Amino acid sequence: MPQLIKNAALVDDAWSLRREVSSLAELGAGTREIVPLPFWLAHRDALIARGDVGVWLAPDADPEALAADVGAVPVIAVDFPAFTDGRGYSIGRLLRDRFGFKGELRAIGDILRDQLFALAECGFDAFLIRSDRDAAAALAGLRDFASIYATTSRTPQPWFRRRKEGPEKPVSAGAA
Amino acid sequence: MYRYDEFDQSVVDRRVDQFRDQTQRFLRGELTEDEFRPLRLENGLYIQKHAPMLRIAIPYGLVSARQLRMLARISREYDRGYGHFTTRQNLQLNWPRLEDVPDILALLATVQMHAIQTSGNCVRNTTTDPLAGVARDEIVDPRPWAELVRQWSTIHPEFAFLPRKFKIAITGATVDRTAALVHDIGAQAVRDHRGEVGFRVFVGGGQGRTPMIAYTIREFLPANELLNYFDAILRVYNLHGRRDNKYKARIKIIVKEMTPPVFTRQVEAEWERIRGGPGTVPGDEIERLARFFTDPPYQDFARDSVAYRAAIADSRPFSRWAARNVKPHKRKGYAIVTLSLKRTGTPPGDVTAADLEAIADLTERYSFREARVTHEQNLVLADVLQNDLHSLWMRLQQLGFATPNIGLLTDIVCCPGGDFCSLANAKSIPIAEAIQRRFDDLDYLYDLGDLELNMSGCMNACGHHHVGNIGILGVDKNGEEWYQVSIGGAQGNEASLGKVIGPSFAAADVPDVIVRLVDVYVENRHEDEHFIETVRRIGIVPFKERVYATAH
């Protein structure tokens, strides 16, 4: 059973995650691997030339380190060591909005159903659900809300710019 | 007041559905305690000493008659028939059942209310001036801005898991009545030299374990940049705030560690990148929101009420009440009335279901069907005809809300304390009552004048003890409840933090300590000098010497 949700569907994961890697020789030929940011930065030219290597960021990483590479890296993953660690949400937004990353933005780590909507709004389009949880059931988490008010990566126009012009439609069961 | 449109309603309805599903999954064992905790907290649900506690949002403190009746119904059907107004302008229920909470939230949604983000490490209920729209010193009505911030912060996806809670206060008046300087962000409306309205923005204030007065991060922010600027502040905080120690995780700590100039530079750099972007608030949007907060259909009066003047001259009790509990209104012939929830014998801020219904009736009869909750845990009827003040006062006396003590020593701000709260080190409500009983001479209280006494049962400071002119903090010493006393704290434009006068006291000694502090004030005060002014002039030493000279 796949644990990866991509574009709102369960898919087989074409990538493997390397939590640690010390040399280029460790990477197999033609295996799609996601390597740590320090390793990426140390070997970026070789890895970009391969074209089949992605990179993952710890929550304390500065995404600006990838500013020059966003057009060359196919997958960026952001690690959530605990689902309550919210730094990755801002990292996602910076990668999408400021640095213009268009590839797969993947949430890894303690990824659970109840955080998927917010992650998706912050630009994540792939979610590696924690291995002990039902990824099929987690899909429902993407639909918790239709949209919200704020400016986000997925919905750059906030609600006050999207709301339809025309007569007000207050709800009949009003507060007054 | 603001009325939801279909989108607003759908957000709240879906939040109820989401939480119902989460609760069921928790009860089925599919979510662990640790996984469920942040989800329930962001819906206002704590697990407390005796039972869950549910904190219902009253956005910027504004509540309608219909909503008051629903709060009464919920407290009666799902709780023990009473609730507690908090220093965040919210209402807490102390005895709901976990499995009932989704139904309670669904009922709230029928009157356009919710409990979203009343707890947890997220942006909390934004507070504002309880006199918004009627105060004479108002530059701009803060309520449209507060509603804008409510919408922006509701389920803001980037800031759902901040290092710690985050509190915002917005004021539109020259006199700050929101305690803006002890908030994570305070925004105060100002005009620039061209007369354009903007906000002065304060960051890094807070109470709790490490109290701090906020610093001014920006003297003038164009009003339409408010949300972009808040996004910038919160992004810097979210990325850099400390997550290794929950006691050092508030924004005030990172501001201090980075130093205000460095923090400011980071925020300003972040703002420059999003400034003028889609989050910039269009003029027509703020006008749309402002249309929900227009003046009610006031009657026109050429002068203030003659009958009201006559009633004041006629009755000393009425004149006392008018002096303390009635404030001037921007319109001739109208008045702002504070209902005191501080009568001796009732925990500060507590109301019964019957009280809530009676207050709903009062708003319909006297004040255009709306009330406001103050952060001092009282209620305000903002638009009362001066001609009606005497009959309202008679009715308030019957209901027990006419205690003429607003701003006086017995108008105690107080958290629920050790009787209810599992965080508390000590009880607070019985101490408040003991002080109220000791100062039962109204003439004496009235002579003492403005004196804010705030009390918290633990260092989380829900009772705002740091900014009380007299602050009392419950502490634990070897399993016993003791009380630390500070003086010199104040809210408002010249906010200051109280200084601890010395070793703590046993509960039974606290009223005597307060008497001694007050005695020193009375002996030293200059004419028309309030307690806080005397403390600032003579320092804490004379107070300290008196208290510890005879207390053993």
Answer whether A89 sits within 8 Å of B35, measured CB to CB. Answer: no
Answer whether B157 sits within 8 Å of A121, measured CB to CB. Answer: yes
Q: What is the mean pLDDT of chain B?
A: 95
| The pLDDT value given to residue A163 | 86
Which residue of A130, A143, A148, A157 is the best one to mutate when testing the B interface, meaning the one whose CB has the most B CBs within 10 A? A148
Rg of the Cα trace of chain A? Answer: 18
Q: Please, what CATH class does the domain formed by B413-550 belong to?
A: alpha beta
| The pLDDT value given to residue B416 | 87
| The pLDDT value given to residue B52 | 87
Query: What domains sit in chain A, N to C, each tagged with a CATH number?
Result: 4-161 (3.20.20.70)
| The pLDDT value given to residue A39 | 97
| The pLDDT value given to residue A164 | 62
Answer whether A145 sits within 8 Å of B66, measured CB to CB. Answer: no
Asked whether the predicted pLDDT for residue B369 surpasses 50, the reply is: yes
- Name residue B5's beta-bridge partners: A170
Of the candidates B22, B156, B161, the beta carbon closest to that of A84 is on B161
| The pLDDT value given to residue B9 | 97
Structure tokens at B245: 């120690």
Task: Say which residues have a Cβ less than 8 Å from residue B3's Cβ, sequence separation at least 6.
Answer: A170, A171, A174, A175, A176, B112, B292
> Averaged over B405-414, what is the pLDDT?
96
Find chain B residues with C-beta within 8 A of A57's C-beta: none
- Determine which of B144-158, B213-227, B416-430, B478-492 has the lowest per-residue pLDDT on average: B416-430
Give the C-alpha separation, B371 to B364, whole Å. Answer: 10
Answer whether B158 sits within 8 Å of A90, measured CB to CB. Answer: yes
Answer whether B4 sits within 8 Å of A160, measured CB to CB. Answer: no
pLDDT, tens only, A69-105: 999 999 999 999 999 999 999 999 999 999 999 999 9
Find chain A residues with C-beta within 8 A of B6's C-beta: 169, 171
Residues 153-172 of B with CB under 8 A from A: 153-163
Q: Are B391 and B441 in contact (CB under 8 A)?
A: no
Going by the DSSP 8-state scheme, the letter that residue B418 receives in this structure is G
Which residue of B39, B155, B274 is the best one to mutate when testing the A interface, meaning the one whose CB has the most A CBs within 10 A? B155
Residues 50-89 of A with CB under 8 A from B: 83-87, 89
Helix pair B226-240, B260-274: axis angle to 10 deg? 120
Structure tokens at B43: 């819906």
| The pLDDT value given to residue B551 | 47
Q: Which residue of chain B comes nearest to A162, CA vs CA?
A: B278
pLDDT tier at B421 (50, 70, 90 boundaries)? Answer: confident
Of the candidates A86, A144, A169, the beta carbon closest to that of B238 is on A86
Answer whether B157 sits within 8 Å of A161, measured CB to CB. Answer: no
> Averaged over B124-130, what is the pLDDT?
95
pLDDT tier at A173 (50, 70, 90 boundaries)? Answer: very low
**CATH-assigned architecture of domain B306-399:** Alpha-Beta Complex (3.90)
Spatial CA neighbour of B121 closest among A123, A93, A83: A83
pLDDT tier at B428 (50, 70, 90 boundaries)? Answer: very high
The dihedral region occupied by B417, where left means phi > 0, alpha psi between -120 and 50, and beta the remainder, is left
Structure tokens at B353: 């279901």
**CATH-assigned architecture of domain B127-288:** 2-Layer Sandwich (3.30)
pLDDT, tens only, B169-201: 999 999 999 999 999 999 999 999 999 999 999
pLDDT, tens only, B236-278: 999 999 999 999 999 999 999 999 999 999 999 999 999 999 9
Q: Are A108 and A100 in contact (CB under 8 A)?
A: no
Structure tokens at B24: 């069921």
Asked whether the predicted pLDDT for residue A175 surpasses 80, the reply is: no
3-state secondary structure (DSSP) of residue B349: coil
Compute the half-sphere exposure of residue B184: CA atoms within 13 Å on the CB side of its CA.
Answer: 26
What single string gives the DSSP state of each residue in B466-519?
GGSSEEEEEEEETTEEEEEEEE--B-STT-B--EE-SS-EEGGGHHHHHHHHHH
Structure tokens at B153: 């912060």
The distance of B504 to chain A (nearest Cα, Å) reads 37
Q: Which residue of chain B comes nearest to A97, CA vs CA?
A: B274
pTM value is 0.95
A28 touches chain B (CB under 8 A): no
The dihedral region occupied by B407, where left means phi > 0, alpha psi between -120 and 50, and beta the remainder, is left
Task: Tell me what percent of the residues of chain B surpass a pLDDT of 90.
Answer: 93
- Determine which of A60-64, B50-54, B161-165, B241-245 has the lowest per-residue pLDDT on average: B50-54
Classify residue B310 by burial, with Cβ atoms within 10 Å: 0-12, 13-18, 19+: exposed
Asked whether the predicted pLDDT for residue B455 surpasses 80, the reply is: yes
Q: What interface predicted TM-score (ipTM) does this complex get?
A: 0.94
Task: Tell me what percent of the residues of chain B surpass a pLDDT of 70.
Answer: 99
Give the C-alpha separation, B97 to B104, whole Å. Answer: 10
Spatial CA neighbour of B456 closest among B417, B512, B509, B500: B417
Residue B10's CB is within 10 A of a number of other CB atoms, namely 15
Q: Which residue of chain A comes nearest to B230, CA vs CA?
A: A150
The distance of A152 to chain B (nearest Cα, Å) reads 8
pLDDT tier at A168 (50, 70, 90 boundaries)? Answer: very low
pLDDT, tens only, B135-153: 999 999 999 999 999 999 9
How do the domains of chain B map onto residue ranges?
6-110, 127-288, 306-399, 413-550
Phi then psi for A4, rounded to 5 degrees?
Answer: -100, 130
**CATH-assigned architecture of domain B6-110:** Alpha-Beta Complex (3.90)
Among the residues of B221-348, which ranges form H helices? Answer: 226-240, 251-258, 260-274, 283-290, 306-314, 316-325
Q: Could you check whether B127-288 and B306-399 share the same CATH topology?
A: no
3-state secondary structure (DSSP) of residue B310: helix
